[in-house]
Each structure stands twice: as structure tokens, then as C-alpha cells.
Amino acid sequence: MNSRIRQDVSLIGVPMDLGADRRGVDMGPSAIRCAGLESRLEQLGYAVHDEGDLVVRRAKAYSSVPESNLKYLYEIVRVNEELAEAVAGIIARKRFPLVLGGDHSIAIGTLAGILRHKENVGVIWYDAHGDVNTADTSPSGNIHGMALAVAMGYGHPALTGIGGERRKVKPDNVVIVGSRSLDPGEQRFLKEKGVTVYTMHEVDRLGVSRVMEQTLDQVTRGTDGVHLSLDLDGLDPKEAPGVGTPIPAGMSLRESLLAVEILSDAGVVTSAEFVEVNPTLDIRNETAKIAVELIASLLGEKIM
């Protein structure tokens, strides 16, 4: 979608913090709304339908499955099942799904909903982390660090079964951009599955424009849509401090704006989510404001 196409946008908030190590990202959807998201999109000519927030319940920390170390497994599964239904419904109504997190475990439900309509979706995972751990490799048991692996069909059956669909994201259709913190198990997984990764080393060496052009070439090759999953910790914490797992030496705001502007110009993004805004760690809601800037640029806002 780009500035030449005006499709209705449906917002859905997922105030989930169960997949993360620390509290606070459950307030992310509210913070992004308070930063003026709806009015900004309306100024761009969109009809915005705010679907409200899903309900996330507090739960016992560990699953009752003895061999599992996955924290809050069953509540995360329940919420993501509901999210998959909601996203699938939004697409059925010919609207652009814009999901606001919440921790990155919500991508499991977003992608499950998308895959009900798309056979072969491309995924851009803009993130400091790879999020391809499983219960066997995760040092923490936090499911937000497993979401991309689950979307590709790897992980606990309760997670990979979300959405009730056998269709999964194909590793060849995934590109991770901006990573700079990968666990050893994630490194092995990404190499074994052949997932393309542009670490900050490649971003610095090649430049954002070339990285995004190569990313677009890959995620549009034979696909029927592109999903952008943008974790605000992909940005440098000096500019976006309000995230749960900040990693130094990340993408600048200007680099990130250029990245989404390139995606906007290409007109291929069919769904998006923005996650991991943590207002309790933020300064004057700056990170939520950055999220709004990035969303507006993705959906066609131009300087001129």
C-alpha cells in the first residue's frame, strides 16, 4: 500500500506483556494511540477503524506441561488465537490490519490470521533480535523471543497450532533487518533454515537503501503480500528508550524512517504490527511518538 492507494485501516491493540521479561509493554497500545496515531492517519486520508484492545488476563507463570519451560504458555496461546481471528476478519473486510503491541509474541497471532488469506506471505522482521528461539534453545523461556520460529512452524505444538492452519511462513520469504543480539541457538537455526539476516554490520557496510532494496527483492519474489513486523528495539535506545530489551548501536530514527519510506514507495506492504513500546521506561512518550512517525511514513506520509 502507498500514498496512491487509500485503504481503510483497522487498528487492534494487544496489551500483552506475558511474553516478555518485564512489565510495561502492556501499556504500549495506549501510548501509541495517545501519541496521535488515529488523527495522523486520518490526515493522510485513511478511514481508521479502531477495533479496541484484546483482553489479556494475568496467569500463572509456567505451563502445566511438566517438560515445558515456556512462561504463560496457555494465556499467550489464547490471546493469539483471538488475535488470529481478528486479523483474518479485518483482511476479509478488505482493510489494512495494523496491530499495536504489546510484546513481540503477538506476531504469532498476527501472522496466523494473515495466513488464512495468503498462501505465501513475505515477512520483514525489523528487530534487534532474531526471535527464533524454541523451548530447547531459549535461555529465558520468554515466548516473545520465539515468535518468528513459531510462525515458520517450529516450537511447542500449542504455539505452532495457533490459527488451526497448516500453512506457515516459509524461511525463504523472511528477512530480518537490524539484528545485533542473537543467541547461539538462534544463530544455528537461522543458518540451518537459510533465513536472510541483515545485522547492523551489513546495515553499516551496505547502507539502509541497499539493504531495503535487497530485502524487498526477496520478500516480494513469488509472494502474495508483505507483512512488516517492527520491534521498536530495532532502533538505537538513545533515540527510542522506551523498549523492554534495549540493545545499543541500533538503527537511527532517520535510517528507520528511510527504511519504511522505501517500503511505502514500493507499495507492497499489506499488513503491519508495531511492538515492544514500554511507556514505563520511556521519556515523555518519545518512543510511542516514534512509532507514530514510522507508521505514518509507512502509510504514505511525505515531506513534500
Q: What percent of the chain has pLDDT over 70?
A: 95
Contact 162, 76 (CB under 8 A): no
Assessment of whether the complete model's pTM goes beyond 0.85 = yes
Return the minimum-mean-pLDDT range out of 68-72, 79-83, 288-292: 68-72
CA distance 7 to 33: 20
CA distance 35 to 304: 22
CA distance 27 to 21: 15
238 half-sphere exposure, CB direction, 13 A CA radius: 7
Binned at pLDDT 50, 70 and 90, residue 5 comes out as: low
Return the minimum-mean-pLDDT range out of 57-66, 191-200, 215-224: 57-66
Q: What is the DSSP string of 192-261?
A: HHT-EEEEHHHHHHH-HHHHHHHHHHHHTTT-S-EEEEEEGGGB-TTT---BSS--SS-B-HHHHHHHHH
In the prediction, which pLDDT does 166 show?
A: 76
Q: Does position 2 have pLDDT exceeding 50, yes or no?
A: no
For the segment 291-295, the average pLDDT, to the nearest whole number, is 98
For the segment 177-197, the average pLDDT, to the nearest whole number, is 98
Tens digit of each residue's pLDDT (9 = 90 or more) over 131-169: 999 999 999 999 999 999 999 999 999 999 999 867 899
Q: Does position 226 have pLDDT exceeding 80, yes or no?
A: yes
List of E strands, 26-71: 48-53
Return the minimum-mean-pLDDT range out of 106-115, 127-136, 165-174, 187-196: 165-174
For the segment 189-206, the average pLDDT, to the nearest whole number, is 98
- Beta strand 174-179 pairing with 226-231: unpaired
CA distance 1 to 298: 9
For the segment 43-56, the average pLDDT, to the nearest whole number, is 97
CA distance 268 to 279: 31
In the prediction, which pLDDT does 88 show?
A: 97
Copy the grid coordinates of residue 90: 479485518
For the segment 185-200, the average pLDDT, to the nearest whole number, is 98
Tens digit of each residue's pLDDT (9 = 90 or more) over 228-240: 999 999 999 999 9
Q: Which H or E element spans position 31?
A: helix 28-34
Torsion of CA 297, 267, 110, 14, to 10 degrees: 20
In the prediction, which pLDDT does 180 show?
A: 97
Tens digit of each residue's pLDDT (9 = 90 or more) over 9-32: 999 999 999 999 789 999 999 999
Residue that wins the pLDDT comparison between 183 and 67: 183
CA distance 253 to 249: 12
Cα dihedral sign, 178-6-81-76: positive
CA distance 110 to 99: 8
Point out the annotated binding site for Mn(2+). 104, 127, 129, 131, 231, 233
Copy the grid coordinates of residue 49: 477503524
Query: By C-alpha distance, which of 234, 255, 246, 231 is closest to 283?
Result: 246
Copy the grid coordinates of residue 9: 485501516
Q: Does position 1 have pLDDT exceeding 80, yes or no?
A: no
CATH topology assigned to domain 9-298: Arginase; Chain A (3.40.800)
- Which residues are annotated as catalytic? 104, 127, 129, 131, 144, 231, 233, 276
Binned at pLDDT 50, 70 and 90, residue 6 comes out as: low
CB atoms within 10 A of CB 70: 24
Q: Does position 3 have pLDDT exceeding 60, yes or no?
A: no
Point out the annotated binding site. 104, 127, 129, 131, 231, 233
Binned at pLDDT 50, 70 and 90, residue 68 comes out as: confident
Q: Does position 280 have pLDDT exceeding 90, yes or no?
A: yes
- Dihedral class, residue 218 (left if φ above 0, else alpha if ψ from -120 to 50, else beta): alpha
